[in-house]
Amino acid sequence: MANGVLNGRCHCGNLKAELTTRLSPAQLALRSCQCSFCSGHRARTTADPQGQLRFLVRDETALSGYQFNLRTAQMLVCRACGGYIGAFMSDSSDPSRGFGVANVNWFGRAAEFTQEPARVDYDSESVEARQARRRKLWTPAVLVVGGG
């Protein structure tokens, strides 16, 4: 897939994710974070550091930008339907820009992600190490409110 876009949305459509990537779903690495939040949502996340990710929020009042533990990223959860679409870490100089991962379970092409996700545990990371890892491995992203 050359410059393909993978689209996802929560059940009600309030939150959307658009991942632009040159990789096919089978080529994108999958991760399964073992924290209670991600495990509870059975999340399988992916990122492409060479791609672009746009999170679109139609109704900001129905967005839960849930943060926990180190408060280094927002878990983008829809208050209306409960869908967890992905995570976004904002850039300190521009809060609408940053880095993100998408939960592929909400992609229209989710069935094409057939690889086993790598089980990961980030509990021992410091704030600095976590932010550095995300800047290196997550997808450059924007969070657009009122754009869904």
**Best CA proximity match to 14, nearest among 57, 75, 66, 64:** 57
Structural domains of the chain, with CATH: 4-141 (2.170.150.70)
pLDDT in tens, 89-132: 998 777 778 999 999 999 999 999 999 999 988 888 898 999 99
Q: Compute the average pLDDT of residues 24-37.
A: 89
| Confidence check: pLDDT of 1 > 70 | no
Q: What is the DSSP letter of 130?
A: H
pTM (predicted TM-score): 0.89
CA pair distance 105, 116, nearest whole angstrom? 13
pLDDT in tens, 35-63: 877 778 899 999 999 999 999 999 999 99
If 0-12 CB within 10 Å is exposed, 13-18 middle and 19+ buried, where does residue 126 land?
Answer: exposed
Q: Compute the average pLDDT of residues 130-144.
A: 94
